[in-house]
Amino acid sequence: MTGKFKEAVGAWQPLVDNLKKVLGDEHPNTLSVETAIANAFGHMGRNTEALNLKEGLVAKSKRFLGEDHPNTLSHESRLAENYQVLGRYTEALGVREAQLQTSKRVFGQDHPETLRYIEALKSTHQDSNKQQVALQLQNSMQELFEACKHVSCIREAHGSLKTFRYFFMRLSNVI
Are both 116 and 73 inside the same structural domain?
Answer: no
Are both 104 and 132 inside the same structural domain?
Answer: yes
pLDDT tens for 41-59 read 999 999 999 999 999 999 9
Are both 81 and 98 inside the same structural domain?
Answer: no
Q: Identify the CATH number of the domain in which residue 46 sits.
A: 1.25.40.10
Q: How confident is the model at residue 146 (pLDDT cuts 50, 70, 90)?
A: low
Are both 64 and 112 inside the same structural domain?
Answer: no
Are both 52 and 96 inside the same structural domain?
Answer: no
- Residue-level pLDDT at 33: 93
Residue 55 is assigned to a structural domain of this protein? yes
H/E/C letters for each residue in the chain?
Answer: CHHHHHHHHHHHHHHHHHHHHHCCCCCHHHHHHHHHHHHHHHHCCCHHHHHHHHHHHHHHHHHHCCCCCHHHHHHHHHHHHHHHHCCCHHHHHHHHHHHHHHHHHHHCCCCHHHHHHHHHHHHHHHHCCCHHHHHHHHHHHHHHHHHCCCHHHHHHHHCCHHHHHHHHHHHHHHC
pLDDT tens for 78-96 read 999 999 999 999 999 999 9
Model-level pTM greater than 0.85? Answer: no
Contact 113, 102 (CB under 8 A): no
Are both 80 and 116 inside the same structural domain?
Answer: no
Residue 130 is assigned to a structural domain of this protein? yes
Q: Which domain holds residue 75?
A: 7-86
